[in-house]
Amino acid sequence: MSDLGHGSTITFGTSGFSAELMSLSGPSIERASVETTHMGTTTAKTFTPGDIYDGGSITCEFQYDAGDTPPVAGAAETITIAWGGSGTFSFSGFMTSYSINGEQGDNLMTASMGIKVTGAVTFS
């Protein structure tokens, strides 16, 4: 059953950084497929799953707050994403990008960040 994203949060365990999220995407977990096709294979290629997966990346946009210092130069830390009533993802990760966005007129300033997952993702 689908759920709404309202109420989703992201928290950095060591630096304590958190944000008023506007959008959140990821982690984009990927696992390799290893081709097993050989000269005797007929009709179609064959594959087997790779042994390990890449936890991927997270991207998010949030309300900019000049008083918050993002851990863009920090070490990997435990990051927890609580999906508004739909479970939690926890993983070790680090910020890979940070950008502030502003527009003319009565618009909130926002910021965006990229996060790289390192190691396993725990789903609960």
9-31+52-123: CATH number? 2.30.110.20
What's the pLDDT tens digit per position in 9-47?
999 999 999 889 999 998 999 999 999 999 999 999 999
Mean pLDDT to the nearest integer, 71-95: 92
Mean pLDDT to the nearest integer, 51-70: 94
Confidence tier at 1 by pLDDT (50, 70, 90) = low
For the chain, give every domain's residue range.
Answer: 9-31+52-123
Structure-model confidence comparison of residues 103 and 37, the more confident one: 37
Q: What is the pTM of this model?
A: 0.86
Q: Is the peptide bond before 71 cis (omega within 30 degrees of 0)?
A: no
Angle at 58 between CA 11 and CA 80, to 5 degrees: 25
Average pLDDT in the chain? 92
Tell me the C-alpha distance between 88 and 60, whole Å.
16
